[in-house]
Chains A and B, each alone.
Chain A
Amino acid sequence: DAKTTQPTSMDCAEGRAANLPCNHSTISGNEYVYWYRQIHSQGPQYIIHGLKNNETNEMASLIITEDRKSSTLILPHATLRDTAVYYCIVRVANRDDKIIFGKGTRLHILP
């Protein structure tokens, strides 16, 4: 079973920040938090990952709570192209470690 829980769906107005929460209360000390997204009929796309510090890249920011039991993915200025299913995953950063996808959050960006 997936080790994370996410809301089933969320709406966000275009141009606003989209904040996607994720709970991972059983995360182990050596597990990273990864975020992927899947646009309809495409393969998943890597967004960002982190261990305990907040991270930012050209796509998004990742805020991880101090106890590491939850995190938030932030898309700072959502566009219609950000409409997708967003998956929060915890895994060891090992190349052989398989990803078990949960149901993710279906994000709708509203014009």
Chain B
Amino acid sequence: GAVVSQHPSWVICKSGTSVKIECRSLDFQATTMFWYRQFPKQSLMLMATSNEGSKATYEQGVEKDKFLINHASLTLSTLTVTSAHPEDSSFYICSATAGTRLYNEQFFGPGTRLTVL
């Protein structure tokens, strides 16, 4: 149980285009989802916290108009990278919390590798 999926697993796009990444909790309802970004040989950096039905809370330095987050249901959150540029190339990871039954561990998706040409 407590499986989180991401789609796509990798994507290559041209500079200036927008890319949408989906994060789904497959076997539980996740009221809270988190989005992280990870550059090569670095640790995960939290970008934003997403609660179902409300606006996401962004970490300092993360542009909310560039990284659009939508958490429309208890099993789906999406991250859209708008007008992507090569410096946005990174490994994007989402996570979801499973509630008190599982001690609120965060379960992580497998990640999406974005390459912007």
Chain A residues with CB under 8 Å of chain B are 34, 36, 38, 41-46, 49, 85, 87, 93-104
Contact A96 B49 (CB under 8 A): yes
Q: Which of B44, B99, B109 contacts A95 (CB 8 A)?
A: B99
Contact B32 A96 (CB under 8 A): yes
The complex places the Cα of A102 from the Cα of B99 at a distance, in Å, of 24
Contact A43 B93 (CB under 8 A): yes
Contact A102 B43 (CB under 8 A): yes
Q: Please name 10 pairs of A and B residues whose Cβ atoms are closer than 8 Å in the assembled complex, sorted by A.
A: A38-B44, A41-B113, A93-B103, A95-B31, A95-B100, A96-B32, A96-B51, A99-B46, A99-B106, A101-B45
Contact B107 A46 (CB under 8 A): yes
Q: Chain A residue with minimal CB distance to B96?
A: A95
Min CB gap A45→B, angstroms: 7
Q: Chain B residue with minimal CB distance to A92?
A: B104
Contact A44 B46 (CB under 8 A): no
Closest 3 CB pairs of A and B: A43-B108, A95-B97, A95-B104
Q: Chain B residue with minimal CB distance to A47?
A: B105
Contact B93 A44 (CB under 8 A): yes
The complex places the Cα of A47 from the Cα of B4 at a distance, in Å, of 16
The complex places the Cα of A95 from the Cα of B74 at a distance, in Å, of 14
Known A93-B103, A98-B34: A45·B108 in contact at CB below 8 Å: yes
The complex places the Cα of A104 from the Cα of B45 at a distance, in Å, of 13
Min CB gap A96→B, angstroms: 5
Inter-chain contacts of A99 with B (CB < 8 A): 34, 46, 95, 106
Min CB gap A28→B, angstroms: 16
List B residues 8-59 near A (Cβ within 8 Å).
31-32, 34, 36, 43-46, 49, 51
Min CB gap A7→B, angstroms: 15
